[in-house]
Amino acid sequence: MGKTTNLLAGCLVAGLALSSCTAHDAGSTSIDADQALAYCDTQIRRTLLQVKNDSCLLPRSITTNGQEWSMVNAYDWTSGFWPGILWYDYENTGDEAIKQEAMHYTECLVALLSPHHQGDHDLGFQFLCSFVHAWRLTGNERYKQAALDGAAKLAGFYNPTVGTICSWQHMREQMGWPHNTIMDNMMNLELLFWAARNGGDMAYYDMAESHARVTMENQFRDDYTNYHVAVYDTIDGHFIKGVTNQGLNDESCWARGQAWAIYGYTMVYRETGNKEYLRFAERVADVYLAALPADHVPYWDFDAPGIPDEPKDASAAAITASGLLELSQLEDDKEKGRTYFQAAEQMLATLSAEPYKADGYKPSFLLHSTGNYPAGYEIDAAINYADYYYIEALTRYKDIREKNK
Catalytic residues: 122, 184
Which residues, other chains included, contact 97 with Cβ-Cβ below 8 Å and sequence gap of 6+?
Answer: none
How large is the C-alpha radius of gyration of the chain?
A: 20
Burial of residue 305 (number of CB atoms within 10 Å: 0-12, 13-18, 19+) = exposed
CA–CA dist 295, 357 (Å, integer): 14
Which residues, other chains included, contact 211 with Cβ-Cβ below 8 Å and sequence gap of 6+?
Answer: 158, 163, 164, 165, 181, 185, 186, 189
Asked if residue 351 lies in contact with residue 317, where contact means CB atoms within 8 angstroms, the answer is yes
| Integer CA distances (angstroms), 121 to 184, 191, 386, in order | 9, 11, 19
Burial of residue 141 (number of CB atoms within 10 Å: 0-12, 13-18, 19+) = exposed
CA–CA dist 321, 285 (Å, integer): 11
CB neighbours of residue 249 within 10 Å: 12
CA–CA dist 135, 132 (Å, integer): 5
Q: What is the DSSP letter of 55?
A: S
Asked if residue 191 lies in contact with residue 150, where contact means CB atoms within 8 angstroms, the answer is yes
Residue 27: φ, ψ to 5°: -70, 160
**What kind and span of H or E run contains 242?**
strand 239-243
CA–CA dist 266, 271 (Å, integer): 9
Which residues, other chains included, contact 303 with Cβ-Cβ below 8 Å and sequence gap of 6+?
Answer: 1, 2, 3, 4, 248, 249, 251, 252, 253
